[in-house]
Amino acid sequence: MAEITRDTVKSLREKTGAGMVDCKNALVEADGNVEQAVEILRKKGMATAGKKAGRVTAEGAVGSYIHMGGKVGVLVEINCESDFVARGEEFQQLVKDVAMHVAASDPRYLRREDVPADVLDKEREIETEKLKAEPKNANKPAEVLEKIIVGKVGKYYEENVLLDQPFVKDPSKTVGELVAEKIASIKENITVRRFTRYKMGEGIEKRVDDFAEEVAALAGS
């Protein structure tokens, strides 16, 4: 069995946010393999999150993040079970991290269930047409093409759904996995309730002047 040093345990704790005992146990289970230990902790975190999912989250915090000198701004509400946890450093850091992630990654939806059915249907239609247009797919069975399309839809979730997006500060985990890890670490249920992202000038139709026409108009006057 590989030797598990205190530095290795500490390094794993910094990487995952899990407790020292949990990190040591995961390393023992993984025979010292750090990457396997990370996977073990994540799976346990998801299991813990599942057990706590039914608990009411009536406390929490609204966090903000401003980027690019005021060009992009985000508000995010994340809930937990107690005011004590809501005021804690670890929870507050999670709120900041999620707000920063939203600013950087511009998700369109919070969770998969929020994606409208017509949007998914359109996405499937587009991907189906693209597959049919490629000669290499001409003789592929329908079930093979369907698996490819399912994968493409999964990619759509990964690009547009907050909880499915790779976390901007650590792309090896999703935002959903980050939240699950915090549930395991903090020992309370945590839910991302909503977010809003503002981009300066977004939706405003900017005036585009024709310089030549302007000069001609001035000359005519």
Please report whether residue 207 resides in a domain: no
Whether 150 maps to a domain, the answer reads: yes
141 domain residue, yes or no = yes
Please say if the pLDDT value at position 11 is more than 70: yes
Quick one: what percent of the chain has pLDDT higher than 70?
86
Residue 218 has pLDDT above 70, yes or no: no
User: Given this model, what pLDDT does residue 214 score?
Assistant: 60
- Is 9 among the domain residues? yes
What pLDDT band is residue 72 in, cutting at 50, 70 and 90? Answer: very high
Range of the domain at 41: 1-52
Output the pLDDT for position 9: 85
Q: Is residue 2 part of a domain?
A: yes
> Is the whole-model pTM more than 0.75?
no
Number of domains in the chain: 2
Q: Which CATH number characterizes residue 38's domain?
A: 1.10.8.10
pLDDT, one tens digit per residue, over 20-71 is: 778 888 889 988 888 888 888 877 776 566 667 778 788 999 999 998 789 9
- Of 124, 158, 192, which residue constitutes the final position of a domain? 158
Q: What is the pLDDT of residues 83-112, one digit of tens each?
A: 999 999 999 999 999 999 999 999 999 999
Instruction: Report if residue 1 sits inside a domain.
Output: yes
**pLDDT interval class at 10 (50, 70, 90):** confident
Average pLDDT, integer, range 112-138: 86
Q: What is the mean pLDDT of the chain?
A: 85
Report if residue 219 sits inside a domain: no
Boundary-marking domain end, from 25, 52, 79 = 52
Q: HEC string of the chain?
A: CCCCCHHHHHHHHHHHCCCHHHHHHHHHHCCCCHHHHHHHHHHHHHHHHHHHCCCCCCEEEEEEEEEHHHCEEEEEEEEECCHHHHCCHHHHHHHHHHHHHHHHHCCCECCHHHCCHHHHHHHHHHHHHHHHHCHHHCCCCHHHHHHHHHHHHHHHHHHHEHHHCEECCEEEEEHHHHHHHHHHHHCCCCEEEEEEEEECCCCCCCCCCCHHHHHHHHHHC
Q: Residue 4 — very low, low, confident or very high, per pLDDT cuts 50/70/90?
A: confident
